């Protein structure tokens, strides 16, 4: 049985994350460009890029859940959400504040992203044809 609420939740979160990614990218390009060093602007842009990648990953996870429902897909999608908050969020704060300690959080977000992709791959691998 397909849980439509789950798919809708992840589709909505993916679309919202993409919206925020576009807005954040525009903010960086138009407002922060003159206020941040080139290095810190590059850090900010990495955060935007990975947020956009994983917004689409959430949308893909929603689709996979409709085709091959699995707890692993749900876990993977939540890993994408957590990864975006930790990875992109820490890079945004680091680049704007200059507080280097936020860089220590970034790898945790990267691990969450990796876990999300592993869960998604596992769910598809184990799916019945």
Tell me the per-residue pLDDT of 51-104, one tens digit each, with 9 for 90 and over.
Answer: 999 999 999 999 999 999 999 999 999 999 999 999 999 999 999 999 999 999
Q: What pLDDT was estimated at residue 129?
A: 78
pLDDT in tens, 102-125: 999 999 999 999 999 999 999 999
pLDDT in tens, 71-82: 999 999 999 999
Burial pattern 35-67, b for ≥16 Cβ within 10 A else e, equals: ebeeebbebbbebbebbbebbebbbbbbebbee
pLDDT in tens, 6-35: 999 999 999 999 999 999 999 999 999 999
Domain tally, the chain: 1
Distance CA 110, CA 22 (A): 21
Domain span holding position 79:
4-126
pTM here is 0.94
Distance CA 51, CA 41 (A): 15
**Cβ distance 78 to 9 under 8 Å?**
no
Q: What pLDDT was estimated at residue 3?
A: 55
Q: What pLDDT was estimated at residue 4?
A: 65
């Amino acid at each position: 049985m397909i849980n439509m609420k789950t798919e809708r939740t992840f589709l909505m979160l993916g679309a919202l994350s993409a919206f925020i990614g576009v807005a954040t990218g525009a903010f960086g390009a138009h407002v922060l460009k003159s206020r941040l060093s080139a290095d810190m602007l590059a850090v900010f842009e990495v955060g935007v890029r990975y947020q956009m990648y994983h917004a689409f990953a959430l949308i893909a996870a929603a689709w996979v859940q409709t085709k091959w429902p699995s707890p692993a897909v749900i876990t993977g999608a939540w890993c994408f959400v957590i990864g975006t908050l930790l990875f992109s969020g820490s890079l945004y704060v680091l680049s704007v504040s200059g507080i280097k300690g936020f860089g220590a959080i970034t790898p945790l977000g990267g691990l969450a992203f990796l876990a999300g992709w592993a869960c998604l791959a596992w769910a598809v691998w184990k799916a019945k044809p």
